[in-house]
Structure 1
């Protein structure tokens, strides 16, 4: 569903490209380990877009 924002969280960031994120409709990307400040900022950015 294109109207549901998706944020990907992964420890395998070497395999992820900006093009792949766009192709799959992923609006945000966070690498593990996650910092709470980074998570909050990513959620805000995705919801505002």
Structure 2
């Protein structure tokens, strides 16, 4: 198995690809905070958004 992408420890089956619930939560928090961003084209606002 690959190591945990957050801390580098061996991953566990229960939290794969992470080693623990803590590292899984850290990763989720990074998504919520906008640390991770998927590239894409910015769309102009629609009439509904104005």
TM-score band by shorter chain is 0.3 to 0.5
Q: Could you say which structure has the higher strand fraction?
A: 1
Larger radius of gyration: 2
Q: What TM-score, normalized by structure 2, do the two folds share?
A: 0.33
Considering Cα pairs closer than 8 Å and 6+ residues apart, tell me whether 1 or 2 has the greater RCO.
1
Q: What TM-score, normalized by structure 1, do the two folds share?
A: 0.34
Q: Could you say which structure has the higher helix fraction?
A: 1
